[in-house]
Chains A and B, each alone.
Chain A
Amino acid sequence: MSVWSTLNRTVFKRTSTFALAVAGGTFFFERTFELVSQSIFENLNKGKLWKDIKHKYEN
């Protein structure tokens, strides 16, 4: 507990480091979020997407 509280003190104390952490966090969050939400969407719509029925139309 004291480890992350003292560690976060180095990040959260200054606005510049805080903003840097937010920017970096957004980058990873965006990638992960889009990956996860895309996989959920494709899972919920299995069998209806083009890539699932493409094999029927390949001439």
Chain B
Amino acid sequence: MNSVVRAGHLAPYFKSSTQVVANSLKPLVVVPTPSEKTVVLPLPKTSTVEILHGSLPIQGLKVKAGTRVPAQVRFAHTDISYPDFSAYRRKETQDPTSKANETIDERQSFTYLIAGAGSVAGAYAAKSVVTHFVSSMSAAADVLALAKIEIKLAEIPEGKSVTFKWRGKPLFIRHRTADEISTEKAVPVDTLRDPQHDDQRTQNPKWLVVIGVCTHLGCVPVANAGEFGGYYCPCHGSHYDASGRIRKGPAPLNLEVPPHTFMDEGLLVVG
């Protein structure tokens, strides 16, 4: 007679043995099982984990070997055939008995390096796309071209102030005479409403570059007029000197000096 003991829920409380040996430990229940021929149930043809698990009596079964007679429940896993995975294995793990821990660093870091390189490429692509679309909202080339003005300085005679239209406002370029330069430099800065020395307002003392908008209420001053040899605003009577600084009248600040650079070939670039 063949029997397979399945303990089920009461497994923690059963002790099964072929012989009962008295010792100090008192088991709750002692079920003596006669030693019989061992039974090996044939395994099902498919060898997936789920089917194996269902066919084997392993749920809650605890088997302890007796003292003199060995009693075992053997699961016949040594004759299960499995496919040969060597086509999928890396070089380090071709041998199925090789330890995974020894080569885990190499294999992992290789994979992560590939992933990292891909992330770098992806980040570069993402940055390019984003900057491309965001920079499309910045100023167009024709707007930027109009933003600067180039002036040939040779065409402006000495003592004259020439007006150009730049960014919608009048731009005064004044070719100053030596007298004007020395006068302006000699003015004490403390007496000015908006104290600025002439050096702070000009890069090249021969050329004064200012925006012709009165700082009072925005009228355009007249050149070579007024009591200080500079500009005079006819709207409310502001007098500016040959450095564009306010001397008399209601205006609070000096005429604005835009950023400008003197190029090599006698060109002035404003803006």
19 CB contacts below 8 A, A to B, read A2-B105, A5-B106, A5-B108, A8-B113, A9-B109, A12-B108, A12-B109, A12-B113, A12-B116, A18-B112, A18-B116, A21-B116, A22-B116, A22-B120, A22-B123, A23-B123, A26-B127, A29-B120, A30-B127
List B contacts of A6 (CB < 8 A).
Answer: 105
Residue of B nearest to A21 (CB): B116
> Once the chains bind, are B116 and A26 in contact (CB under 8 Å)?
no
> Once the chains bind, are A12 and B106 in contact (CB under 8 Å)?
no
> Once the chains bind, are B109 and A22 in contact (CB under 8 Å)?
no
B92-120 vs A, Cβ < 8 Å mask (1 yes, 0 no): 00000000000001101100110010011
> Once the chains bind, are B124 and A30 in contact (CB under 8 Å)?
yes
Chain B residues touching A, range: 10 to 19
A21 to B108, CA, bound (A): 16
Residue of A nearest to B113 (CB): A8
List B contacts of A26 (CB < 8 A).
Answer: 120, 123-124, 127
Q: Which of B113, B120, B127 gathers the greatest number of chain A CB atoms within 10 Å?
A: B120
A5 to B107, CA, bound (A): 8
A33 to B226, CA, bound (A): 62
List B contacts of A30 (CB < 8 A).
Answer: 124, 127
Residue of A nearest to B119 (CB): A22
A6 to B121, CA, bound (A): 24
User: A25 at the A/B interface (Cβ < 8 Å)?
Assistant: yes
List B contacts of A53 (CB < 8 A).
Answer: none
A33 to B127, CA, bound (A): 14
Instruction: Indicate whether A5 sits within 8 Å of B105 (C-beta atoms), given known contacts A26-B123, A26-B124, A26-B127.
Output: yes
Instruction: Indicate whether A9 sits within 8 Å of B127 (C-beta atoms), given known contacts A21-B116, A29-B120.
Output: no
> Once the chains bind, are B109 and A25 in contact (CB under 8 Å)?
no
